[in-house]
Structure 1
Amino acid sequence: MTPKITFEEHFMAPGFEKHSAAFLKLIPGAEAAALTRRLGDFDGERIELMDRYGITRSVLSLTGPGPQGEPPETAIAAAKGANDFLAEKIAPLPDRLSGLAALPMHDPDAAAAELRRAVTELGFLGCLVNSPVHGTYFDAPEYDVFWAELEALDVPFYLHPSNARAHPPVFADMPVLTGATWGWGVDTGSHALRLLFSGVFDRFPGAKLVLGHMGEALPYLRWRFDSRFAAYPMGVELELRPSQYFTRNILVTTTGVCSHAALMGALGEMGPEGVMFSIDYPYEDTAAAAEFIETAPLDAATRAMVCHDNAAKLLGLPLLAEAA
């Protein structure tokens, strides 16, 4: 079994339960209870599943919407509280569990300061942020102070879906389209493209953005981004072709898409160094995700990169050869 690192894996912190209440009402009671239990577990079933399926390290992040669901006046304290809680919970298992910071993105300066604290004082490996913050997207000029801090710390920014501030008319009377089935990916992928076309990755070429769910479908459109941007640049100037920011700055995980065909397409577009395995525990099934990646038509070297070494390199962890 190939050793694996996973890093779109979630937990619940005290005070954030209120954000999940509406979601939990939409699913059967037994499933809601299981999700609640697993989100609050750090050293029981979570570790047992990691052991069973070859997951050597799980990098945990606060379940959505996190501080992005808080009003500006409480977001900073809420993010700090969540990060301190996670640091306490993972401390007994430093070789198995790590953390991604929750951030108060309402205030770019405060977000940069909390990221710095979480990385340098709590030992976190990056951050996971839910998109967007009350309709604000992170390509705005005031966020340059944040991107500068992220680049200086050399840690990744995981852009995770959340509910859009407003839905386009095509979603009207069709609530199934607004959430995880479709709308979350549309909003998150569009947010990532805003970062690309606004020049964030020209100004901060060392910044690393991670997208789940096979990149919210963006890798499959790299050729079209180049073609149509060349035809209709709309006054935007970039140092590289849009496709060239993928893998250099934008990387993807397999979370929530256990399809061999989709995986091979993502690898074809991103290269073997641009795709990483993850699960989205406890919202996705660990057994199904592990079987998917273990049976994928990959050579051993590529499987090791996707399962472990790409994430290890991104997160500053030992590679398989170094750990052997």
Structure 2
Amino acid sequence: MHLIGIEEHFLTPEIDRAWRSLGLEQTDPSVALHAGTWHGRLMNLADERLALMDETGLDVQVLSLTTPALHDLGVESVDIAKRTNDTLAAAVARYPQRFQALATLPVSQPEAAALELERCIDELGFKGTMLCGRVGSRHLDDPALMPILAQAESLGVPVLLHPRVPPPAVRQAYYGGISPALDAALATYGLGWHYDAGLQFLRLVLAGTFDRLPRLQVILGHWGEMVLFYIERFAAMERVASLSRPIADYCRANLYVTASGMFLPHYLARAAAVVGHERLLFSTDFPYQYRAGGDARAFLERCGLAGRAKAAFAHGNWQRLTRGAGVS
């Protein structure tokens, strides 16, 4: 069965240098995580990556820039994004049966980002884009960032909301004071990343973004970044929110959910109960969740789905979601 992973990451030397020229490794602990074996795997868009895909049983990777992407860069990110997307397009052209792509955007320049997204979809054949939460002090529901989301809706392509580290004040207040290593872990892959990404989606709902952009489709990794497990509790906010529909309805109409390498059948079952089987997507969160052996294919076989539901999870839902984007 054809298996497509929709959250699979890369990095370029230029972006790595740009992060370090800003000193981001001092302020964003996730930058320091992109080291060692992970660093090499992020940089590789050829034989090594393909070999690891074969080992785990993945047929296609949908490539996206790893966190924190270009969210902390300024006007220089416009040209960096174009060069990155051209590099990515070349990789897809070399291996069209193995790679697809999500656009890298200069998000601090929203109008330029909207234009670059249009170029990536219409000219380069990309499938959507990925955003890493806050842009400076602005959350994704900030009106200044609306051109990016409006462009995605207009083009009919999804937006993957990827985690990024919470701001320093939040890290100090909620994730600090244990030890430097544990503080960083707790604020990133331990918990902070996932609360932050889920919060971005919830803010989009509460701010009425999906009422204004009803066709916008958003993807959350890690089985919904906590959101799906508290959907009943979120309903209490409907008393004070000026929304057109119940909060759960936005999850069923505007949200897709992917595994991100968390291969747990009971999490899949919970996600399906909230958003429906037609909104489940497969992913391995390469290279971070890579494990030796055929674990991706093995999870597909034991995930609890069969027949059309299994095929939809493996590839069909993604193909349907992106059928109007780029080239097949």
State TM-score, norm by structure 2: 0.87
2:32 and 2:105 map into 1 onto residues whose CA distance is 27
Counterpart position of 2:261: 256
Structure 1 position 26, deviation (Å):
6.0
Cα deviation for residue 165 of structure 1 reads 2.0
- SS of the residue 1:98 aligns to: strand
Do structure 1's residue 270 and structure 2's residue 275 form an aligned pair?
yes
Deviation of residue 61 (structure 1)? 0.9
The whole-number CA distance in structure 2 between the counterparts of 1:117 and 1:194 is 28
Q: Which residue in the other structure is 1:310 paired with? A: 317
Matched-pair contact (CA < 8 Å) for 1:167–1:178? no
Cα drift, residue 25 of structure 1: 9.0
Cross-structure match for 2:67: 64
Within-5 A mapping of 1:16-31: 16-18=15-17, 19=19, 22=25
1:107 shift after superposition: 1.9
Residue 95 of structure 2 corresponds to residue 93 of structure 1? yes
Shift of 1:210: 0.6
Q: CA RMSD in A?
A: 2.3
Q: Aligned runs of 1:185-264 on 2, under 5 Å?
A: 185-226=194-235, 228-230=236-238, 232-233=239-240, 236-264=241-269
Aligned residue pairs total 310
User: What do the CA deviations read for 1:256-283 (whole angstroms, capped 9, x no partner)?
Assistant: 3221221111112221012111001111
CA drift of 1:16 comes to 1.6
Match among 41, 45, 61 for residue 42 of structure 1: 45
Runs of 5+ unmatched residues, structure 1: none
- Structure 2 contact 222–261 (Cα < 8 Å) conserved: yes
Q: In the aligned structure 2, how far is the partner of 1:196 from the partner of 1:24? A: 27
Secondary structure, aligned partner of 2:140: coil
Aligned AA for 1:184?
Answer: W
1: CA distance between counterparts of 2:31 and 2:194? 22
Contact 1:247 1:273 in 2 (8 A): no
User: SS at 1:110's partner residue?
Assistant: helix
User: Which SS does the other structure have where 1:205 is aligned?
Assistant: coil
> How far apart are the structure 2 equivalents of 1:290 and 1:188?
27
CA shift, 1:317, in A, is: 7.8
* 2: CA distance, partners of 1:98 / 1:170: 37
State the shift of 1:24 in Å: 8.5
Asked whether the equivalents of residues 58 and 297 of structure 2 are also in contact (C-alpha less than 8 Å), the reply is: no
Report the CA distance between 1:241 and its aligned residue.
Answer: 0.4
Aligned to 2:129: 127
Paired with 1:55 and 1:25, the residues of 2 have a C-alpha distance of 27
Instruction: Report whether the alignment pairs 1:288 with 2:290.
Output: no
Structure 1 residues 178 and 157, CA, compared in 2 at 3 Å: closer, same or farther? same
SS in structure 2 of the partner of residue 264 of structure 1:
helix
Partners of 2:141 and 2:72 in 1: how far apart? 19
Q: Which has the higher contact order (CA 8 A, sep 6+)?
A: 2
CA apart distance, 1:207: 0.4
CA distance in 2, matches of 1:24, 1:130: 12
C-alpha spacing 1:145/1:26, structure 2 compared with 1 (3 Å): closer
Conservation of the 8 A alpha-carbon contact between 1:135 and 1:164:
no
2:178 maps to 1:171: no
State how 1:134-149 maps to structure 2 within 5 Å.
Answer: 134-149=136-151
Is the deviation greater in 293-302 or in 2-11? 293-302
Deviation at 1:41, TM superposition (A): 1.9
CA distance in 2, matches of 1:25, 1:80: 22
Distance in 1 separating the partners of 2:265 and 2:152: 33
- SS of equivalent residue, structure 2 residue 14: coil
2:301 and 2:37 mapped to 1: Cα distance?
A: 26
Matched residues, percent identical?
A: 32
Q: Please give the TM-score of this superposition, normalised by the length of structure 1.
A: 0.88
